[in-house]
Amino acid sequence: MKNKKSILSYILLITGVIIVINILADRFFLRLDFTADKRYTLSQATKKILGSIKEPVTVTAYFSEELPNDFSRLRRDFKEELIEYSSRSNGKVLFEFINPNKDEATEQKAMQEGINPVLINVREKDQVKQQKAYLGAVVHYGDKKEVIPVIQPGAAMEYSLSTSIKKMSVDNKPKIAFLQGHNETSPNAMVQVMQSLSVLYDVEPVNLNDSAVRLDQYKTLVIVDPKDTIPEPHFRKLDEFLSSGKNIYIAMNRVNGNFQTASGTAVGTGLEKWLENKGVRVTPNFIVDQSCGSVMVNQQQGGMTFQSNLRFPYFPLITKFAPTPATQGLTSVLLQFASPIEFVALNKEVTFTPLATTSEHSGTENPPLTFNISRNWQQKDFPLSNLTVCGLLSGKIAGNMPSRILVVSDGDFPVNGEGQQARQIPPDNLNFIVNAIDWISDDTGLIDLRTKEVNSRPLDQMDDGKKVLIKYLNFLLPIFLVIGVGIVRWQYRRNLRMKRMHEDFI
């Protein structure tokens, strides 16, 4: 009878514990993140945004069902992230998942909202076919709407969600100015940059010839590839801007390459002298690098003309970055006709930090020069290493207030072009400029999310030895564990049996 009561008490206790755990799990969202890249942990920037929203945010996720494993996992990860958003915002983030493939009306509604289908590869019965899938979301905040048209596997979901909410919830965005009036690159020729910056900032062109312009209303001034001489009064205005604690981003060309004449020349606008007086010297030399991009050239063979890609060391491919928020997550940035940057220590209250450098096999060439596309480059042509192509000057540059100047020795890398000459720039080229402007302009922390991605570790990128080791480890380890447990139990029982057979055993 006593045993029956004890069993009943244990059952009631376990049932009560399960009920309490379910109640707590319904009220509180807890998730332990042991991943190396912290893919399931919300950043402080996101928590700050979620804590500041005043109205409910509704997320309508248009996701197809019955997708391959990678995309099914993407749907699950996105849903779990939304659950955490809802928990962190005290229920102000509401969400629903809709399958647009279930009927034509739902599919039409998804496309009207701005979610268009993508084609994904599906393997069925040893055949690969393409399937139409929806992988997007629409975020509503009051009467405002932001569309995330496609959520890719491995993409920075948190950045997309948080910036969408931030863009709609902020009342007054910080302002950033793009300098014009000296034949700088037009904002219309940097469409991708403008679109990325407009998420968190009001971006405006400014001309210092306009006496009504007030630079003090801007957090950062951006100068991209001025080609005409900048007059001295404009430099005085830049000094006043820095003296108020503001920041300047400069992407400039110290040399110019002309493919039509196959020639390279030096460039001077006065900006290089102004920078040198601050402590940064951009030398009028062409950087050449063994790690480089390529150019398309026409070649003739057997009376036929065909196009081919040839390595072009004057387009350095930058893969070495300092560990800063401006360069975090970058893999490779392709520059065009870059120049070395040097620090000239003129002011003890100013420091210089290299942010990006060339490879171990690089060099320089002095203009004027003629490009030989078919040149046979040798190892001796790259005697230098780690030439700085981007750096940050910080401290009391002008006046008593600390400020920053970030310099890149190429003014062409963020340019899309206009009209028929327009092209897409590489993703890291875009991140390279937008991250840097974010870093010196914004304190929300969202910069850390732009390049936060889920890092895959596929076996096909391992060497054969590691793959064989993992293969046999997965196969043999469970067997050895079972055998080991069996031996331990057998030895235990054998010892117990021998002990019972002893005459002193009670």
Structure tokens given for 262:
């196959």
Pair 90, 83: CB distance under 8 Å: no
Q: What does the pLDDT read at residue 120?
A: 79
For residue 1, the one-letter residue type is: M
Q: What does the pLDDT read at residue 456?
A: 45
Q: Indicate if 102 and 197 belong to the same structural domain.
A: no
Q: Indicate if 184 and 89 belong to the same structural domain.
A: no
Cβ neighbourhood burial of 369 (10 Å; 0-12, 13-18, 19+): middle
Q: In what order do the strands lie in the sheet with 333-334?
A: 292-301, 304-318, 333-334
Listed residues 145, 168, 191: the one ending a domain = 168
Q: Indicate if 115 and 185 belong to the same structural domain.
A: no
DSSP, residue by residue, 317-368: EE-EE-SSTTTTT---EE-SS---EEE----TTEEEEEEEE--SSEEEEPSS
Show pLDDT as tens, one digit a residue, over the chain (506 residues): 556 666 777 777 778 777 777 666 555 555 555 555 555 677 777 888 888 888 899 999 999 887 787 778 888 888 888 988 988 888 899 999 999 988 889 889 989 998 888 887 777 666 767 778 888 999 999 888 888 888 876 556 887 888 888 888 877 788 999 999 999 999 999 999 998 888 788 999 999 999 888 999 999 999 999 999 999 999 999 999 999 999 999 999 999 999 889 899 999 999 999 999 999 999 999 999 999 998 877 666 666 666 778 899 999 999 999 998 888 878 999 999 999 999 998 778 899 999 999 999 999 999 999 998 888 999 999 999 999 999 999 999 998 899 999 999 999 999 998 877 788 999 899 999 999 998 998 766 666 665 555 444 455 445 667 767 777 777 788 888 888 888 888 888 888 777 777 656 55
Q: Indicate if 115 and 136 belong to the same structural domain.
A: yes
Number of Cβ within 10 Å of residue 289's Cβ equals 26
**Runs of H (alpha helix) within 93-215:** 104-112, 157-169, 191-197
Q: Indicate if 93 and 199 belong to the same structural domain.
A: no
Give the tens place of pLDDT for each residue, 411-462. 999 999 887 778 899 989 999 999 999 899 876 666 666 555 544 445 544 5
Q: What is the largest CA-CA distance in the chain?
A: 110
Q: Indicate if 473 and 425 belong to the same structural domain.
A: no
Evaluated on CA atoms 100, 103, 107, 110, the torsion sign reads negative
Pairing type for strands 369-370 and 263-266 reads: antiparallel
Which CATH number do you get for residue 387?
Answer: 3.40.50.880
Owning domain of residue 149: 39-168
In a domain, 416, yes or no: yes
Name, in order, each residue with C-beta under 8 angstroms of 255's C-beta and a sequence gap of 6 or more.
264, 265, 266, 267, 284, 285, 286, 337, 339, 367
Q: Indicate if 381 and 251 belong to the same structural domain.
A: yes
Q: Indicate if 320 and 368 belong to the same structural domain.
A: yes
In a domain, 117, yes or no: yes
Q: What does the pLDDT read at residue 450?
A: 59
In a domain, 73, yes or no: yes
Q: Indicate if 230 and 161 belong to the same structural domain.
A: no
Give the tens place of pLDDT for each residue, 370-388. 998 888 999 999 999 999 9
**Runs of H (alpha helix) within 147-257:** 157-169, 191-197, 232-243
Cβ neighbourhood burial of 14 (10 Å; 0-12, 13-18, 19+): exposed
Inter-CA distances, 27 with 41, 59, 129, Å? 19, 21, 44
Name, in order, each residue with C-beta under 8 angstroms of 327's C-beta and a sequence gap of 6 or more.
321, 355, 356, 432, 435
Q: Indicate if 220 and 163 belong to the same structural domain.
A: no
Cβ neighbourhood burial of 138 (10 Å; 0-12, 13-18, 19+): buried
Q: What does the pLDDT read at residue 211?
A: 86
Cβ neighbourhood burial of 307 (10 Å; 0-12, 13-18, 19+): exposed
Number of Cβ within 10 Å of residue 342's Cβ equals 15
Q: Indicate if 191 and 98 belong to the same structural domain.
A: no
Cβ neighbourhood burial of 392 (10 Å; 0-12, 13-18, 19+): buried
Listed residues 124, 148, 168: the one ending a domain = 168
Query: Hey, is 505 helix, strand or coil?
Result: coil
Q: Which residues of 227-252 are buried (b: 16+ CB within 10 A; e: fewer)?
A: eeebeeebbeebeebbeeebbbbbbb
Which among 393, 324, 318, 410 has a CA at the least distance from the CA of 356? Answer: 318
Q: What does the pLDDT read at residue 278?
A: 94
The count of domains in the chain is 3
- What is the distance between the alpha carbons of residues 308 and 324, in angstroms, rounded to a whole number? 37
306 torsion bin: left (phi>0), alpha (psi -120 to 50), beta (else): beta
Q: What does the pLDDT read at residue 37?
A: 54
Structure tokens given for 327:
């360069």
Name, in order, each residue with C-beta under 8 angstroms of 351's C-beta and a sequence gap of 6 or more.
393, 394, 395
Q: Indicate if 155 and 230 belong to the same structural domain.
A: no
